Structure 1
Amino acid sequence: MTGELSGVDLARQALIAAREAAKKNGATQTKKPKRRTTTVVRRDGREPLGLGSAISRMMTERGMVTPAAGGSVLADFDTILAAAVPELAGRVQATAFDADTGRLDVVPDAPAVGTKLRWSAPKLIAAANERVQGANVRAVHVLAPAPVKTGSTTAAATPAPAAPDVPAAPVERRPPPDGYRRAIEAHRQAAPPSRVDPGIAEAVERQTKAMRELSRRAFPEPDVVPADTPAPIDQARIQRRRQAAVTEAAALRRARAEKAGREVAVPRRLEQTA
């Protein structure tokens, strides 16, 4: 008694029939074909890249496919940065992510931010791998500092149209309230007037006069010299000339007296000799 065949039995019989047909046609291969491996060198001269990676990169560059992990890392970088290093939020921008090498390129807005980012790279890598499943971020490459560009910043930087100039109205000064004026008057009346002891004032006056007298004695003022009075040097010259004239006159008188005495003495000698 033969029953109807089930689906599994029909599939098994079809597989056996296909194998027998293949053997009869000689389509079976005793050896497995060798797998071809092809390497493609990048145009910029860096390390070689696998064929599958090269095709994926080419398709990504031409917009044919978007890498899921890389796109997610770049799209969620602000959230990843805020979770890993909150103090650097908004100051770092992710520029590229290489899914093959796991390298994430970031640009800080200042050198100090770049230094802090290098120290915090392990925490950033862990946060990225936890946020994006399958991202496999292995390294963070910090590029040269550059201003971070954001859409909101650009929109805020757009200057608003200037308002038309409106002439300023004169400001009226309101009189002070009555309470303020009463408080000022009460303060003036309550303030005691300044009192100076007459004895102290007299002592200060005496001391001032004594200091002035000592100063006058120590530094006497020079006498006023008339304008027509000769200078001290001229006075000395005139005095020397006068002394020289007096000395010369005395010498002349003495010489004349001596000459007259000699003339008188000669005749007397002649008389005595005769």
Structure 2
Amino acid sequence: MRPPHVLPPTPRKAGPATAAADPTSPPPAPAAPAPRPAPSAGYRRALAAHQEVAASPRVDPAITEAVERQTAAMRELSRRAFPEPDVEVPEDAPTPIEQVRAQRRRQAAATEATALRRARAERAGAIAPSVPHPRQVAGEVA
């Protein structure tokens, strides 16, 4: 099998593609945008006519009435599904989550106080330790 035959590069005239590849040449200046021609009188008339028609909304009164009925029905269903509580809560009353957090803090403080009293009593020898020493379990005396 023969390897493919590669042709040598041909000399070309320098254009934008070859100039970009040449690091010594300065970058081309950006082209200035072409000025826009003023719109014609016919274009302006057509645009004004379109804006006039588009600005006036065409609302069917039957559709508006149906939307209002549907909105009222949805509000009534929502009111039945999620009734407002009749109990008035003062503004400075804690929210339920704050009440739960306060209750948990009280429970934690009570548990900590009980544990401290028991540990002090165990150290003083007033009661037997709640967890026996490992040597006591094996039959040895500490």
Q: Which has the higher strand share?
A: 1
Larger Rg belongs to:
1
Higher RCO (Cα < 8 Å, 6 or more apart)? 1
Q: TM-score, normalised by structure 2?
A: 0.40
